[in-house]
């Protein structure tokens, strides 16, 4: 039994008012709110248990290290990885993808080598590859979506040529809500001997993920979207890929021995975790993931499907509302615009006056927005604590926008 009101009661911020009315938080695609258990873990970490991790022999360092390293195993379970040694802790998806770009791709790519991307990618899964294009002459090959916003896995596989060194693809579009069949892409790419990186920033929030079943080589997640703290994240790297990677940054626990003339590196995954990590944020992420698994990822997915279907039903009656992305299996993410030219920022401002938080702009997906012929949209993205009544309030506010801007 999914008790959304009991879940909402665990998020202190959801009880506040904005502009004199109860908050409706629909900006989860950008960053999710935090349950009390995560807030308590952060407070405890700083107030009662804080110390640097690893190599310290005193009590506080031991406690911090145990909690920090405990997160690695939580991530392993959350992603279905075979071993803790396949989990690199970091500050989020952006760092994780840059780590792969600089540590794995850069040393093995020559001018003319190719990376295959979908047009739906977030900038975090575009810009690191542009670095390689600028600096090493790497070619980016783009695969478009169809009119519904679906990405054909076979089109991605067909784009893989003899010079393709990597496929990098989102698991769920942060603009369209499209869920990509990444397993089919990984199966096809593996048959051609090409590794696959999956950006799981959106998908891992909304559905169960099993990296072994998917068959990917890399899978990146970010804590702040997973009801955890900002500055936390992780990337799964298949053991053989991790063995091929060179360190991304130097210093701290990533070293084994340093002399005047040489340096040797720690074993993976420590080899890729330089400097003092984001200790308390990482601990908080582990608590958040544990909490989500306690709610049940299948339960969360089912609840959000209900929200999606309710929203689609309500939006159907608004013939002046344009929705980007109509994939049959999409997640509960809706990019909206109102016919007549009302700017997304104006719509967002009116919604805010009604206590409704949405995102307005290009959503860090400019190539996709250009493909759609749009300058900006309003995005309402739902989470595990949202309700059908909040969708009804969103529709009422959109109707007001239509009246104001028509």
Active-site residue list: 364
Tokens of 90: 């970091």
Cα(131)–Cα(112) distance, rounded to whole angstroms? 14
Cβ atoms of 344 and 378 closer than 8 Å: yes
Cα(247)–Cα(72) distance, rounded to whole angstroms? 19
With both helix axes pointing from N to C terminus, report the angle between 388-405 and 344-353 in degrees, rounded to the nearest 10.
120
Cα(116)–Cα(131) distance, rounded to whole angstroms? 15
Quickly list DSSP for 97-135. HHHHIIIIIGGG--TT-EEEEETT--GGGTHHHHHHHHH
Most distant CA pair in the chain: distance in Å? Answer: 71
**What secondary structure letter does DSSP report for 230?**
T
Cβ atoms of 286 and 67 closer than 8 Å: yes
Q: Tell me phi and psi for residue 151, to 5 degrees.
A: -105, 120
Taking the mean position of all CA atoms in its chain, how far away is CA 130? Answer: 20
Closest CA to 330 of 379, 377, 290: 379
Cβ atoms of 86 and 334 closer than 8 Å: no
Name residue 89's beta-bridge partners. Answer: 234
Cβ atoms of 171 and 198 closer than 8 Å: yes
């Amino acid at each position: 039994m999914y008790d959304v009101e009991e879940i909402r009661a665990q998020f202190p911020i959801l009880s506040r008012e904005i502009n004199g009315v109860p908050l409706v938080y629909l900006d989860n695609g950008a960053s999710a709110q935090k349950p009390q258990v995560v807030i308590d873990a952060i407070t405890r970490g700083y107030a009662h248990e804080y110390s640097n991790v690893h190599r310290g022999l005193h009590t506080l360092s031991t406690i911090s290290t145990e909690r920090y390293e405990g997160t690695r195993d939580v991530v392993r379970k959350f992603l279905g990885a075979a071993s803790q040694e396949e989990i690199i802790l970091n500050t989020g998806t952006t760092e994780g993808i840059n780590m792969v770009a600089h540590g794995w791709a850069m040393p093995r790519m020559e001018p003319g080598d190719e990376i295959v991307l979908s047009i739906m990618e977030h900038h975090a899964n575009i810009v690191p590859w542009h670095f390689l294009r600028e600096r090493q002459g790497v070619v980016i090959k783009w695969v478009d979506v169809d009119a519904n916003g679906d990405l054909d896995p076979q089109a991605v596989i067909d784009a893989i040529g003899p010079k393709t060194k990597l496929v990098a693809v989102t698991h769920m579009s942060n603009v369209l809500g499209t869920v990509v069949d990444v397993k089919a892409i990984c199966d096809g790419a593996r048959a051609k001997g090409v590794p696959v990186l999956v950006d799981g920033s959106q998908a891992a929030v909304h559905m169960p993920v099993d990296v072994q079943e998917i068959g990917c080589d890399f899978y990146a997640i970010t804590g702040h979207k997973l009801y955890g703290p900002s500055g936390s994240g992780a990337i799964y790297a298949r053991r053989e890929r991790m063995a091929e990677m060179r360190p991304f940054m130097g210093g701290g626990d990533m070293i084994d021995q340093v002399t005047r003339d040489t340096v040797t590196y720690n074993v993976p995954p420590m080899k890729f975790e330089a400097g003092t990590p984001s200790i308390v944020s990482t601990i908080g992420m582990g608590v958040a993931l544990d909490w989500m698994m306690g709610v049940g990822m299948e339960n969360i997915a089912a609840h959000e499907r209900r929200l999606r279907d309710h929203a689609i039903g309500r939006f159907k009656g608004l013939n002046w509302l344009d929705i980007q992305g109509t994939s049959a299996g999409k997640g509960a993410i809706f990019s909206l615009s109102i016919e007549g030219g009302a700017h997304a920022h104006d719509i967002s401002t009116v919604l805010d006056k009604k206590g409704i938080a949405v995102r307005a702009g290009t959503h860090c997906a400019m190539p996709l927005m250009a493909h759609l012929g749009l300058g900006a949209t309003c995005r309402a993205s739902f989470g595990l604590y949202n309700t059908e009544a909040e969708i009804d309030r969103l529709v009422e506010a959109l109707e007001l926008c239509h009246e104001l801007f028509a």
